[in-house]
A and B are shown apart, each in its own frame.
Chain A
Amino acid sequence: NAGVMQNPRHLVRRRGQEARLRCSPMKGHSHVYWYRQLPEEGLKFMVYLQKENIIDESGMPKERFSAEFPKEGPSILRIQQVVRGDSAAYFCASSRTGSGQPQHFGDGTRLSIL
Chain B
Amino acid sequence: RKEVEQDPGPFNVPEGATVAFNCTYSNSASQSFFWYRQDCRKEPKLLMSVYSSGNEDGRFTAQLNRASQYISLLIRDSKLSDSATYLCVVGYNTDKLIFGTGTRLQVFP
Contacts and interface: CB of A to CB of B under 8 A. Distances in A.
A56 B98 CA distance: 13
Given A105-B43, A106-B43, A107-B43, A42 B94 contact: no
Contacts of A99: 93, 95
A45 B41 contact: no
Contacts, number: 61
A43 B94 contact: no
Q: How large is the interface on B (under 10, 10 to 19, 20 to 34, 35 or more residues)?
A: 20 to 34
Contacts of A56: 94-96
Q: Report the 9 A-B pairs with minimum CB-CB distance, sorted nearest first.
A: A100-B32, A42-B101, A105-B43, A98-B95, A43-B99, A102-B46, A100-B91, A42-B99, A105-B44
17 contacts: A41-B101, A42-B101, A43-B99, A45-B96, A45-B99, A56-B94, A59-B96, A91-B44, A98-B93, A100-B93, A101-B32, A101-B95, A102-B49, A104-B46, A105-B45, A107-B43, A110-B41
